[in-house]
Amino acid sequence: MTLHQTPFSGRLSLTTKETKALKPRISVITLGVDDLEQAVLFYRDGLGFSTEGIVGQEFEHGAVAFFDLSSGLKLALWPRRSLAHDSGLQLLPPNAAAFSIGHNVMSRSEVDEVMGQAERAGARIVKPAEDTFWGGYAGYFQDIDGHLWEVVWNPQLLPEQSL
Amino acid sequence: MTLHQTPFSGRLSLTTKETKALKPRISVITLGVDDLEQAVLFYRDGLGFSTEGIVGQEFEHGAVAFFDLSSGLKLALWPRRSLAHDSGLQLLPPNAAAFSIGHNVMSRSEVDEVMGQAERAGARIVKPAEDTFWGGYAGYFQDIDGHLWEVVWNPQLLPEQSL
């Protein structure tokens, strides 16, 4: 008897769907910040991201700013205090090496341009752009709350023009 | 003389592009992990994300696993030690309340399903799903390295079916 002839064969794909509820999707990246207004200035005026500004101020722990990114992804800035309150997790000092946000660009010169823009916006240059061991060119900066961004030219992972 | 008649008028948009090099794009979210193989098991087998597995092992600090997410976004798992080495930042204990990854779903019941799947995969349920002050329904879990995910039903921010 082959697999396709078992009594269960018709349910295999359904079963898979039932047990794999989580789709490979990230909708929002929320960065905890110390001073929401300063963080909005950094991302809106410094980096040039578009936002409607701070909303939700009528709610306790509600004040937040959303930025529309490419491909429907949203970046949210939310006080670390609010994130800790909402999740119930302890409020600890930021740890910059826990994760990073990768921003891929089309060329080496665009890496330099973006690093320059970030520095002018008040970011800390953690590692100036340099050649990477895997054949690309990349640098790191931290936003004003210490969140780590990597600006990357990877000839094998170029962004689509529309993204 | 109106703005459009100044000698600079033709360069205004170009100048804007020159000074706003950074496009509103996140290409990769890299999560620092303690044990890369265990983390791959959690995301691949537990959550059902698709990956080619660990690559780059021929390079020092090169071992990494990439997962393809919706809309071209990639999730990378990389040893925290490698991220600290590459960025030059200090290796510190993880701080879960520094950021969160939002996973929006279509319904309340899907929140419950995803939270259940995460728990079965070995995640720690930080806050069971409950009604939120803004009219939605959401819960938090931490992956095996402490990274915080929020599973969210927000009737005003439903995912597109294709995402």
Q: Please check whether the two domains, B26-86 and B95-163, share a CATH topology.
A: yes
Please tell me which residue, B45 or A9, carries the higher pLDDT value: B45
Question: Pick from A80, A97, A160: which is nearest to B90 by CB?
Answer: A97
Q: Residue A20's pLDDT is what? A: 63
Q: Residue B1's pLDDT is what? A: 30
Mutate: best of A15, A19, A22, partner B, most B CBs <10 A: A22
Window A:106-145, CB contacts with B under 8 Å: 110, 113-114, 116-118, 126-127, 133-134, 140
Closest alpha carbon within chain A to B34: A98
Distance between B42 CA and the closest CA of chain A, angstroms: 12
Closest alpha carbon within chain A to B29: A101
Is A32 in contact with A78 (CB distance < 8 Å)? yes
Is A57 in contact with A45 (CB distance < 8 Å)? no
Q: Residue A161's pLDDT is what? A: 59
If you average pLDDT over residues B104-115, what whole number do you get?
94
Question: Pick from A70, A98, A126: which is nearest to B95 by CB?
Answer: A98
Residue A85 CA to residue B139 CA, distance in Å, equals 13
**What are the pLDDT digits (tens) for B49-74?**
999 999 999 989 999 999 999 888 99
CATH of A23-87, one of 1.10.357.10, 3.40.50.300, 3.90.190.20, 3.10.180.10: 3.10.180.10
Mutate: best of B42, B66, B95, B152, partner A, most A CBs <10 A: B95
Please tell me which residue, A85 or B10, carries the higher pLDDT value: A85
Which homologous superfamily is B26-86 in?
2,3-Dihydroxybiphenyl 1,2-Dioxygenase, domain 1 (3.10.180.10)
Window A:35-74, CB contacts with B under 8 Å: 47-50, 56, 59-60, 62, 67-74
Q: Residue A96's pLDDT is what? A: 65
Protein fold of B95-163: 2,3-Dihydroxybiphenyl 1,2-Dioxygenase; domain 1 (3.10.180)
Q: Has residue B3 got a pLDDT over 80?
A: no
Q: Where are the beta strands (DSSP E) in chain B?
A: 28-33, 51-55, 64-68, 74-79, 99-105, 124-131, 137-142, 148-153
Best CA proximity match to B161, nearest among A23, A76, A73: A23
Question: Pick from A72, A94, A159: which is nearest to B98 by CB?
Answer: A94
B17 at the A interface (CB within 8 A)?
A: no
Question: Pick from A19, A26, A98: which is nearest to B69 by CB?
Answer: A26
Q: Whole-number mean pLDDT of chain B? A: 82
Distance between A34 CA and the closest CA of chain B, angstroms: 10
**A31: chain B residues, CB-CB within 8 Å:** 98-99
- Residue B87 phi/psi, 5° resolution? -85, -20
Q: Residue B96's pLDDT is what? A: 65
Best CA proximity match to B157, nearest among B129, B126, B132, B140: B132
Residue A3 CA to residue A10 CA, distance in Å, equals 10
Q: For chain A, which residues make up each domain, given as ranges?
A: 23-87, 94-163
List the CATH code of the domain at A94-163: 3.10.180.10
Listed as ranges, residues in chain A with pLDDT below 70 are 1-21, 94-96, 161-163
Q: Has residue B5 got a pLDDT over 70?
A: no
Tokens of B31: 């999560």
Q: Residue A44's pLDDT is what? A: 93
Q: Residue A140's pLDDT is what? A: 93
